[in-house]
């Protein structure tokens, strides 16, 4: 049985992140873009890893007053097993020390209006719609919903959140 471990990602992980991006998104970040983002003090990336494999990852932008979820992706072979839920919970908890320094009382993200599985995940963690961006996604012209949650409302991660 495979196990996934939550970890902060660094430069050595960016090739795997770029590969996962390419599998999951129509406009993926390239490895060089991800490496450059890591140089910013506001950018953080976390993953669920195991057996030298990246199962899922999330990237965050931390700015005064908020945490913006930039991307969250799960390898297609490991979807619907709780990895994204556990990853999102753990990543928001890991950002808590930043929150205590005056950052990130709320988390925001954008999601395709038609991404029903993601919408279900976000709503189950307390995210609520606060706006929309018309034609946000260049590849399809699809609208994005803007969702927000107060970090105090996000339930803590449980050890058995994800099963592989």
Q: Which of 110, 136, 137, 142 is catalytic?
A: 110
Look up 77 and say whether it is catalytic.
Answer: no
Q: Which of 46, 57, 78, 122 is catalytic?
A: 122
Look up 78 and say whether it is catalytic.
Answer: no
Tell me the pairing of strands 144-150 and 128-133: antiparallel
Question: What is the helix, strand, coil percentage profile of the chain, to 5?
Answer: 35, 35, 35
Q: Is residue 74 within 8 Å of residue 56, measured between CB atoms? A: yes
What is the three-state SS of 38-64? Answer: HCCCCEEEEEEEECCEEEEEEEEEEEE
Structure-block tokens of residue 44: 């953080």
Q: Which residues are catalytic?
A: 110, 122
């Amino acid at each position: 049985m495979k196990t996934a471990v939550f970890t902060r990602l660094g430069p050595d992980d960016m090739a795997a992140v770029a590969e996962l991006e390419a599998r999951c998104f129509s406009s993926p970040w390239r490895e060089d873009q991800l490496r450059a983002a890591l140089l910013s003090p506001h950018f953080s990336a976390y993953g669920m890893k195991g057996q030298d494999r990246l199962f899922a990852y999330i990237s965050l932008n931390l700015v005064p007053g908020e945490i913006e979820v930039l991307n969250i992706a799960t390898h297609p072979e490991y979807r619907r097993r709780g990895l994204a839920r556990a990853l999102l919970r753990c990543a928001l908890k890991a950002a808590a020390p930043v929150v205590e320094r005056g950052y990130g009382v709320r988390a925001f993200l954008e999601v395709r209006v038609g991404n029903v599985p993601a919408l279900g995940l976000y709503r189950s963690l307390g995210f609520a719609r606060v706006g929309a961006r018309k034609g946000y996604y260049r590849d399809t012209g699809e609208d994005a919903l803007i969702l927000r949650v107060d970090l105090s409302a996000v339930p803590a991660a449980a050890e058995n959140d994800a099963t592989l």
